[in-house]
Amino acid sequence: MTSRVLLTGGAGFIGSQIADQLIEAGYDVAIVDNLSTGRRQNLNPKARFYNVDLCSSQVEEVFDRERPHLVSHHAAQISVQASMDNPQNDAATNVLGSLHVLELCRRYGVRKVIYGSTGGALYGEPQYLPCDEGHPVRPVSAYGISKYAVELYLPVYKDTFDLDYTILRYGNVYGPRQDPHGEAGVVAIFSQRMLGGDPCFIYGTGEQQRDFVYVEDVAAANLIAMETASGKAINIGTGMGASVNQVFDGLAEAIGYQGAPVHRDSRPGEVHSIHLDNSLARHELGWQPTVTLPQGLEKTAAYFRQAASGGQISQVAG
């Protein structure tokens, strides 16, 4: 029997590419997304789509109709800066919305939840690098706190209600379909601005490092996690840090941009440098990244160039 997957946030940057890979692998996919940041044009036409907010009572109607075996939970408030400006709203979406989903999973007999979490915002300023899953959790933003709170609920639901789970802690995911939104979207932001001949802004020195992992690799990890890594929290990253300056230089070369970056003050709630140990992902999932940063920047620049030439950049990139 074909497994039915309910994917929250499936019109978004990461969620839509998870949907594509699930459908290609033969899963039956339904998507819940309120399109607040997701895009209708990202939706796979083979998925059933419900334009419903995560916190709405209508979500139960979707569960009742779809009766999913698996839930991939990727709907979230994703901006670190927005979480610091309004932590209450961040928690309402990321914590209460997630609990709503977990309660419905329990009520409708879902077998397993795949939870899209964060590695970059979870561990705080690292005590050592790369951060493995045993690194102390000390988030420095409301976003990191809200994402981790849901991680704490998942073992309780597994032990009490037999709801299995796998947590995937992402590095800084980038690639096609990304909105230029917050630092996590720096590749998309730079791509859009460079193609428009506009100045690019770097907050701080630009020497701060992130673990930039290509979105298709992240989607591949989700596909594997559907049927393995029970009860595990797993980093999904490259295992290497790259500076914002490196990203700027790589995109400038790919696009042919001649401008210099404009530096601004660093922003509160953001870790200076982090990258993730992916040893557990290799062991539990048999997963490792396949796209290098130069390759990924080339692919992303080509996507935004095509979008710009087709007059779609404002729709695709936010």
Average pLDDT over residues 68-77: 97
Count of C-beta atoms within a 10 Å radius of residue 105:
24
What one-character DSSP code corresponds to residue 261?
A: P
The pTM score is: 0.94
Average pLDDT over residues 238-248: 97
Strands of the 232-236 sheet, one edge to the other: 48-50, 28-32, 4-8, 70-73, 112-118, 164-170, 232-236
Per-residue pLDDT at 314 exceeds 50: no
Q: Which residue ranges make up each domain of the chain?
A: 4-172+214-236, 174-210+240-275+291-316
Residue 261 structure tokens: 């970056």
Per-residue pLDDT at 38 exceeds 90: yes
Average pLDDT over residues 218-223: 98
Residue 53 structure tokens: 């907010």
The pLDDT value recorded for residue 318 is 28
Residue 104 structure tokens: 């419905």
For residue 128, give every residue at least 6 positions away whose Cβ sits within 8 Å of its Cβ, in sequence order, or none: 135
3-class DSSP state of 198:
coil
Task: For 123-149, write each residue's pLDDT tens digit.
Answer: 999 999 999 999 999 999 999 999 999
The pLDDT value recorded for residue 181 is 58
- How far apart are alpha carbons 138 and 36 in whole angstroms? 29
Active site residue 214: no
Per-residue pLDDT at 310 exceeds 80: no
Task: For 171-216, write each residue's pLDDT tens digit.
Answer: 999 999 998 755 458 999 999 999 999 999 999 999 999 999 999 9
Using the Cα atoms of residue 269, residue 270, residue 272 and residue 278 in order, give the sign of their dihedral: positive
Per-residue pLDDT at 287 exceeds 60: yes
Residues 219, 17: contact at Cβ < 8 Å?
yes
CATH for 174-210+240-275+291-316 is: 3.90.25.10
Average pLDDT over residues 27-33: 98
Residue 203 structure tokens: 């907050």
> At the topology level of CATH, where does 4-172+214-236 sit?
Rossmann fold (3.40.50)
Domain 4-172+214-236 and domain 174-210+240-275+291-316, same fold? Reply is no
Higher per-residue confidence, 271 vs 37: 37
First to last CA, the chain: 39
Where is 154: in which H helix or E strand? helix 142-161
The catalytically annotated residue of 27, 123, 143, 165 is 143
Task: For 252-263, write each residue's pLDDT tens digit.
Answer: 999 999 999 999
Higher per-residue confidence, 78 vs 269: 78
- Summary mean pLDDT of the chain: 94
